[in-house]
Amino acid sequence: MNVNPIFHYGEEQLTTDLALQISTGAVKGILSAATRIKINKSSAIVEKIAASDKAVYGINTGFGPLCTTMISAADTRKLQENILKSHAVGIGEAIEESISRLMLVLKLQALAQGYSGILEATLDRMIWHLEHNAIPVVPKQGSVGASGDLAPLSHLFLPLIGLGKLHHEGEIVPTAELLNKHGLEPLSLGAKEGLALINGTQFMAAHAVKVVQRFDNLLASADIVAAMMLEGLSGSAKPFDEGLHLLRPYAGNLQVAANIRSLLAGSDIVASHLNCSRVQDPYSLRCIPQVHGASRNAWQHLREILEIELNSVTDNPVIFSEDLTISGGNFHGQPIAMPLDYACLAASEIGNISDRRIYLSLEGSAPNIPKLLMRETGLNSGFMILQYTSAALASENKGLCFPASADSIPTSLGQEDHVSMGSISGRKALQVIDNVEKILGIELFCAAQALDYHAPLRSGTIINAVQAYVREHLPHIEEDQLMNKMMETAIEMVKQGQLYRIAKETDPNFNA
C-alpha cells in the first residue's frame, strides 16, 4: 500500500513545491507531538493574559482603531467570533479552489510555529477540512494587504464557526450542512484565535505560490516556442554562444542561452544557412536570452522571497511569553507585493516579445516562409488575424502591469494608514500569466506552420519531437478556416506543460 510522504507543520521548511503537494494531498501535513506542546503552551499564555487586567491588543482589547477599548474576560470568546463575522466582507467571484487549499496549508504552517496562541483543536479542524476536501469558498476582492488579508481570511475561516460555504465533491454547499453530515459541531474560538486566523498574508502568498508554479512552466515553454520560431524563420544561432553570455553573466540569460543551444542541437535547418548573407536578426530573435533571461531572474527573485514568507509568522500580536507580546507589522504585505508586481511585469514581457515574433513570422521576409504563413493569400487571409489576438492580449497585459504596490489608501480610521495592495498584485500576476499562455499558444501554432515549409530539412532533435507532437493534434493548413479551436488546443499544450514534458522525454538532460 502506498503511503503519502509526511510534512510536519511548524517544524520543517515549506517550499512552493511542498505547499502544492500538501494542498493536493500528495504529501500529508501533520502536527507532531512536539509541535502540539508548543501550540498548547502558546494558547495557555493567551488564556492567562485574557483573564488578567493587562491590556494586550486583540486579546482583551478591540481591533484597529478600537485598540484602547478593553474587553472583559467573559466576552473574549465572543470578540473572536465577531471579528470573523464583521471582517468577512469580500465580494466578487470565488478564487480557485486550489488557491483556497493553499491558503489553508500556508496558514497551518504559520500558526503551528507556536507564536500565535491558537488552540490545538482549531488547527486539527483546519487539517480536517483539507483531508475531507471541504474547502472554504473565498471571494476574490476585498483585501488591501495591510493587516494581512483580513477579508479573504475571514471567509476562509467562517466554516470553523459553522458559517460560510464550502467546495465539496464538485459542488458548493453550506458549511452547517456538511458539518452536520459528518457529526461535527462548530468550534468555539478561544481568546485571540479570530485575530490569529485573519491576520496574515496567506491570500497573497497562496497566489504567489501559483504564480511561481505557472511562471516556471511559462518560462520553459517560452524558450521552446521561441527556438521553434527561430528555426522556422532561419534565425542565427550565434547570439546564443556561451562565450558571449559569459561576458554579461546574469543567471537567467545564461540559462536561456543554454536552453536555446540544446533546442537547436542537431538542426539541419540551422546548418543550412550558417554562411548566409544575413548579418543579424531582429531583436525578438536575437535578444531572446536577454529578455527571457531577465524574466527568469524576476521569477527566481519571487521564489526566494516567497519561501521566506511561507515559513514566517505573520499574525499579530506575536506571543513570546506571558510578559512579552509584541504588536508589530509582520502581516504587512509589502515584502511580497513588490516582487509580485515585478513578476507580473516580467511575465508580461514574455508575451510582449512573443507577439513580436508572431508578427515577424507573417511578414514573408524569411527564407522559404510565405507571407501570412500560407502559400495562396488574397483569397485567403492566412494567419494574419491571429496576431490581432496576440496584440490584444499583450496590450491588456501592459495595462495590468501598473504596480498595485505603488498605491496605498488609508483604512481603519487611519490606524492602518499605509497598505500594500498585495492581494491585487497576486491576482493581476496570475491574470497576466493566463494571457501570456495564450500568446505563446498562438506563437506555437504559427511556429509549427513556419517549420513545415523547411521540409525535408529536420529541426533540432528536441524541437523535431515537439513539432511531431503538435502535428499529432494540429494540422498544417493552406486555406482559411475556423482556427479558434486550433488556437485553444495549442494554448492548452502550453498551459498543461506538454512542451516541456516532450522536451524532457526526448532529452533527459534538458533542464529548463
Active-site residues, by number, are 57
Task: Give dist(CA 135, CA 113) in Å, integer.
Answer: 23
CA distance readout (Å), 174 to 61, 86, 156, 345: 32, 19, 13, 39
Residue tagged 508580461 (cell numbers): 348
358-365 CB contacts, 8 Å cutoff, 24+ apart: 358/386, 358/387, 358/390, 358/439, 358/442, 358/443, 358/446, 359/387, 359/391, 360/229, 360/233, 360/282, 360/284, 360/285, 361/229, 361/232, 361/233, 361/446, 361/447, 361/449, 361/450, 362/387, 362/446
DSSP 191: T
Q: Rounded to an integer, what distance in angstroms lies between the CA atom of residue 347 and that of residue 343? A: 6
In 3D space, the residue among 501, 479, 492, 398 whose CA is nearest the CA of residue 445 turns out to be 492
Distance separating the N- and C-terminal Cα atoms of the chain: 34
Burial 323-346 (b: 16+ CB within 10 A, else e): eebeeeebbbbbbbbbbbbbbbbb
Could you give the CA distance from residue 171 to residue 157 in angstroms, rounded to a whole number? 19
Q: CA-to-CA distance for 412 and 66, rounded, in angstroms?
A: 9
Sign of the four-CA dihedral 211, 212, 218, 219: positive
Closest of 34, 200, 180 to residue 114, by C-alpha? 34
Rounded Cα–Cα distance for residues 183 and 164 (Å): 18
**Per-residue cell: 229:** 520560431
C-beta separation of 45 from 319 below 8 A:
yes
